[in-house]
Each structure stands twice: as C-alpha cells, then as structure tokens.
Amino acid sequence: MIREARVSVNRRSTRYLESGSGWPVVLLHAFPLNADIWRPQLERVPPGWRMIAPDLRGFGPAEASTAGQRVRTLDDFADDTDALLERLGIAEGVIGGLSMGGYVAFALFRRSPERFTGMVLADTRSEADSTEGQDARRKMIEMVNLSGPRAVADQLLPKLLGPTSHETRPEVAATVRRMIESAPADAMADAVQAMLTRPDSTPDLERISCPALVLVGAEDGITPLADAEAMARRLSRSRLVVLPAAGHLSSLETPDAFSRALEDFLISSM
Ligand code: MLT
C-alpha cells in the first residue's frame, strides 16, 4: 500500500510517497513530472525494502508556485533531498532517479556520497548539456513563460514516450500529459534553467563505488542507450538493463519490466 505524507523540508511542505518497510530506496522523478511516476514501483516494493519518492521543489499536487523559494541549480533539489532524508532519519540507502532525477542523484552524491549504498540511474546521462542543448533549453524557458505548461506538454510528449507507447499505450500518454499540464510554469522554468547549468557528472562515475543499476528504455530518444552504456562502462560495479518497448519514461511505459529489474538488482547486489 502506498502512503502519502508531508513533512517540512527547508521550510517548505514536501509531499513524498512511501511503501514497504526495511532498507530505504529513494527514487527521484523526471522533469516536469512528480513523485507519482513511481507509483507502479511503489506498488510492488519487494519485501525488506522501503521505497520513498519525494516531489522535487515546485512539483507535485498543491504546489502552486515556488515563489520565494526558487530553484537555481540542481544542488537545490539535492539539498532538499538531503534534508528530507535527515528529517526521516535515513542515513543511507539505495538512491537514484530517472532522467532529471538522475542528474539530482549525481548532485546529491557530490555533497553526501556516504548516503549511497546503491545507485539507480534510469534514462539519464552523466554529461552536461551541449551548446545546442542549452539553446534548446533557453527556447523552452521562453515557451513556458509565454505559453505555459500545455505548450510544453505538446512539445515534450512526442519525445518522452517511445513509439510503442505512442501506438499502444494511450493511457500512459494521458497520464503524462495530465502531470505536465498540472506543473506550475515557474517551477518548470526554474528546473530547465537548473538543468541547463548542471556540471558534467562524468568525473564522478569513477568515484561511485557502490553497486549501480543503469536502466534505459530501448526506444529512449532523449538519453539513448549509448549514454547508458557510457555510464555503465565507467562505473566500477554496474549492471546495465535495457528495457524493450520502452522510451524515455521507462518506469511508466513498461512498469513491470522496470520493477523486475530494480527488484533483481536490490536482491542480488545488496
Ligand atoms: C527529464 O525527463 O527529466 C528530462 O527529459 C531531462 C532533460 O531534459 O535533460
């Protein structure tokens, strides 16, 4: 059963989802979504594990605006996650994220490496943005400010899901659209700006000595297989799993296969 709770983190009410009990597994969500993307994984938490999925600042239900507490860099998200773990009395655990959630996991690793007993890097990459990527982000900030979340959904949805999902899983597209359209415009713009300025995390890969699960949808066109392979090669204890018929949002597109891979990793590597 999934529990939904709120605690005050860095003077801000933060929602997190939780299920199971035992060793912690912390899952950080993608842009511009919220903790709900992890519901399929929380619904089948393996015995002996406690899954925790927080909303990153500005995202999630009832977050009308980040006014006054705007995110400037991904370190702000990492700082919130660190403070949440402190608040929950969690010193260490398996920590990871999908896409932007993976970028935040890298930022958290840089500030608190001792918290990681395992790492999950799903549909993400270690490199910083290219110059073209940064230009595209600046255009997206303009679009969010001018036209709002619906325009972002129109632009992002075709890329976020793989062709198989577009053809056969209309309910996933509808869920993702709903989440994007409910995200506040200022939180979106801040997160895009934070991703635009994120540092290259590639040098960190060699310092990550805990077991690491690298997951990627075979149809991921945003952070494709080559990015996952490059990370897996540099990590000393990595397992690479490619999820067939999944795009960039693999945890939602093929939730059973994602959960199975996560469960196998948790049971065999820990
Ligand atoms: C995400 O899914 O979090 C974003 O696609 C990440 C990005 O734009 O780099």
The atom of ligand 1 lying closest to the CA of 101 is: 3
Q: Which residues line ligand 1 (CB under 6 A)?
A: 30-31, 99-100, 195, 222, 248
Q: How many CB atoms lie within 10 A of CB 255?
A: 21
Q: Is 154 exposed, middle or buried (0-12, 13-18, 19+ CB in 10 A)?
A: middle
Contacts of 41 (CB under 8 A, 6+ apart): 27, 51, 53, 251, 255, 258, 259, 262
Cα 222 to middle of ligand 1, angstroms:
7
Burial 228-247 (b: 16+ CB within 10 A, else e): beebbebbeebbbbbbebbb
**Which of 180, 222, 227, 253, when mutated, tests ligand 1's pocket best, judged by the most ligand atoms within 8 Å of its CB?**
222
Which of 123, 104, 153, 164 lies closest to 250 in space, CA to CA? Answer: 123
Is there a contact between 64 and 184 (Cβ–Cβ < 8 Å)? yes
Which of 266, 246, 242 lies closest to 254 in space, CA to CA? Answer: 246
Cα 51 to middle of ligand 1, angstroms:
22
Contacts of 7 (CB under 8 A, 6+ apart): 13, 14, 16, 84, 87, 88
Cα 100 to middle of ligand 1, angstroms:
5
Cα 99 to middle of ligand 1, angstroms:
5
Is there a contact between 81 and 11 (Cβ–Cβ < 8 Å)? no
Cα 92 to middle of ligand 1, angstroms:
26
| Torsion sign across C-alpha atoms 51, 52, 56, 59 | positive
How many whole angstroms separate alpha carbon 47 and alpha carbon 42?
11
**Which of 34, 192, 223, 227, when mutated, tests ligand 1's pocket best, judged by the most ligand atoms within 8 Å of its CB?**
223
pLDDT tens-digit profile, the chain (270 residues): 999 999 999 988 999 999 999 999 999 999 999 999 999 999 999 999 999 999 999 999 865 555 557 899 999 999 999 999 999 999 999 999 999 999 999 999 999 999 999 999 999 999 999 999 999 999 999 999 999 999 999 999 999 999 999 999 999 999 999 999 999 999 999 999 999 999 999 999 999 999 999 999 999 999 999 999 999 999 999 999 999 999 999 999 999 999 999 999 999 987
Cα 168 to middle of ligand 1, angstroms:
23
Query: pTM for the complete prediction?
Result: 0.97
First-to-final CA distance of the chain: 24
The atom of ligand 1 lying closest to the CA of 31 is: 3
